[in-house]
Structure 1
Amino acid sequence: MDVSLHRLKLLRDLRHRGTVTAVADALHYSTSAVSQQLSLLERETGATLFERRGRRLVLTEAGELLADHAESILDAVTQAGNAIESLRDGLTATLQVGVWASVASGLFPRGMTTLADRAPGILVRSVELSPEDGSDAVRDGSLDLSFVIDYSNYLMPRTQALRSRPIAAEQMFVAAPTGTFEEEAIALSSLATKPWILADSRSHFGRAVRLACRSAGFEPDVHHAVGEQSTALALVGADLGLSLISELAATDVPDGVELTPVADRFERNLSIVYRSRDAQRPAVRAFLEAMSEAAQTLGLPPPTGETYESPEAESPET
């Protein structure tokens, strides 16, 4: 049987992501292109790999069996590439890395400068994506590494296929119009009656803040739902409410906005995830060290709490 590695990757991605549409979106293909490639894979194997259940395409027993072997085959190909990489004179490699706004504007550039000085042969290509999507993108091979976040009250799921390198613990601040508060630190309970500017509850950040507010005895009254902290700061500057801002985002505060530390124990832990099989890959290790040193240079302490366990299952918000 002679099958395409590319199509085996699509098969693996379908099992991980669940739908052809999700695979297409992740790889920036059309759904018809993914479907066509999967159909060609069936022809190459001479077996029925998929069946329709309603509008979904699911793996048959043969499809699941081939997907198991695809994991091993693709891992072996990656490990062979890593072995060749380690034998080269000088450290040369290309890394695909997931970032998001506050990391891309603060920590990442500083770490890249350190990496370029120490290992100029490493080419890094970054992709901006939400922290919620980083782990999946690394697991399915779309990225080599990705920055992810945990909150002290809400931890992201991890899988055995991934490892996590803690990088920094970010303090959280209340962002409010200048002169709103006189205290040196603000208890969340004192914000119960204020209008809020906050990420949607479906996001990790929005969910974590709501859980923190509930622990303080109230549900935040969200007037404006925004995705980026920089957008929230702009709205705070327009006196449209208050928000919580992480330490990395606190480096670019507009006029008219004042930041006050949160008195409650509520912090954001920044980590980088990568595949377990890449733990000894020289380029990955060099990248991790550069970003860790960048965090230290910025005065960000390493996380002290657990950042690897999954959060307890909770009912989704409506």
Structure 2
Amino acid sequence: MEVHHLRTLRELRDRGSVTAVAQALHLSPSAVSQQLASLQRGVQLPLTEQRGRVLVLTPAGERLADAGGEVLESLARAENSVAEYLLARREPVSVTAFHSAGLAWFPSLIASSLADPDGPAVRCRDEDVSINGFIDLVGDHDVVIAHRPLASDPWPGQRVHVTPVLQEPIDVAIHREHPLAKQQTVSLPDLVGETWVAAHEGFALEPLLVQAMFASAGTPIQITHRVNEFNLVAAIIAETRMVGLLPRYTGLIPYFREHVVLRPIQSLALGRHIDVLTRPEAQSRVSTRSVIERIVKIAEETRRHAEGS
């Protein structure tokens, strides 16, 4: 088996189509098909099958793609073994994050990179995707900062390496002059009749609101606006006295802390996991690990600052 054939099979599993694989590997679709055919000739069981107009992996193909990922990880470690000390640490690292993590952490991450001429240069990009979309980003970026609700299924460990960063509580955001702002906590009955600003369907905070709805014994919650960008949520709350859900550590910039306060909901543990996702071979590089360590440190500083304020 050729290594580039295994890489092509793994890309087909992760990207879902020959066209997408061709674009990612800078090949023609026919070249991708030829590589898959060459790999198939050395294997007795079918690795792919046509499902409608889409070529997908068979169970045998899935197993070989997983094994191919381990081969690529081992090769990446071997390729970095000599250059690791001097060169690999300076290799650029691409980082993508959802909006609130980017706003909270990108400035410090970029500043620390500029202050360390011997370390890796970071290339940052924000991405606003649903929970299921984070796995797809791993194929295009070295480091993906992702989030998911506390009660959700873990990330698929056979496809990505997961580094836990932060477990962040989610609070109700209300205007400082709202009557509920005088309380240290709020209950679900306190929120009956309030008008909500909520995240888009399928995004990480939207299931939390649904959870709150079920926990409130059928009390309807009026969702009037769907907004993913937390500073826009805070701006709406500051002007209209509506309520929403915001993360405790990364949800508010200092300006909005003058107008909006966060209060936990009694007897309801709302929160999210924030993790770094990488492909195993990217995780094996010193430059990538260095950037991940910086992200974890910056996130911890953000948490301590928020809890101390």
Between the aligned partners of 2:34 and 2:107, the Cα distance in structure 1 is 42
Over residues 216-258 of structure 1, what are the superposed CA-to-partner deviations in whole Å (9 max), with x where a residue is unaligned? 4345321112222223223323417321111312125549842
The residue that corresponds to 2:245 in the other structure is 244
The residue that corresponds to 1:144 in the other structure is 142
Task: Between 117-126 and 195-204, report the one with greater CA deviation.
Answer: 117-126
CA contact (8 A) 1:12 1:67 kept: yes
Between the aligned partners of 1:216 and 1:61, the Cα distance in structure 2 is 43
CA contact (8 A) 2:175 2:259 kept: yes
Task: Between 91-100 and 10-19, report the one with greater CA deviation.
Answer: 10-19
The residue that corresponds to 1:14 in the other structure is 12
Q: 1:291 aligns with which of 292, 295, 299?
A: 295
> 1:2-151 to 2 correspondence within 5 Å?
5=4, 8-20=6-18, 27=24, 35-42=29-36, 47=41, 50-59=48-57, 67=65, 70-88=68-86, 91-118=89-116, 120-129=118-127, 130=129, 132=131, 133-138=133-138, 141-151=139-149
The residue that corresponds to 2:224 in the other structure is 223
Report the Cα offset of residue 61 of structure 1. Answer: 8.1
CA contact (8 A) 2:66 2:158 kept: no
- The TM-score with structure 1 as length reference comes to 0.74
User: CA 1:37 to 1:67, structure 2 compared with 1: closer, same or farther past 3 Å?
Assistant: farther
User: CA 1:186 to 1:82, structure 2 compared with 1: closer, same or farther past 3 Å?
Assistant: farther
CA contact (8 A) 1:15 1:59 kept: yes
- The TM-score with structure 2 as length reference comes to 0.76
Between the aligned partners of 1:153 and 1:62, the Cα distance in structure 2 is 31
CA contact (8 A) 2:8 2:35 kept: no
Between the aligned partners of 2:25 and 2:87, the Cα distance in structure 1 is 35
**AA partner of residue 191 (structure 2):** L
Find out whether 1:260 has 2:258 as its counterpart. Answer: no
The CA RMSD measured in Å over matched residues stands at 3.7
**AA partner of residue 223 (structure 1):** T
Between the aligned partners of 1:192 and 1:156, the Cα distance in structure 2 is 32
Could you list the runs of 5+ residues in structure 2 that have no partner in the other structure? none
CA contact (8 A) 1:150 1:270 kept: yes
Q: How many pairs align?
A: 294
Could you list the runs of 5+ residues in structure 1 that have no partner in the other structure? 303-318
The residue that corresponds to 2:166 in the other structure is 168
Between the aligned partners of 2:242 and 2:19, the Cα distance in structure 1 is 38
Between the aligned partners of 1:60 and 1:192, the Cα distance in structure 2 is 50
Between the aligned partners of 1:244 and 1:172, the Cα distance in structure 2 is 6
User: CA 1:269 to 1:4, structure 2 compared with 1: closer, same or farther past 3 Å?
Assistant: closer
Between the aligned partners of 2:195 and 2:28, the Cα distance in structure 1 is 45
Q: Give the share of equivalent positions with the same residue, in percent.
A: 22
Report the Cα offset of residue 106 of structure 1. Answer: 1.4
Between the aligned partners of 2:8 and 2:107, the Cα distance in structure 1 is 33
CA contact (8 A) 2:227 2:233 kept: yes
3-state SS of 1:200 partner: coil
CA contact (8 A) 2:176 2:260 kept: yes
Between the aligned partners of 1:79 and 1:101, the Cα distance in structure 2 is 32
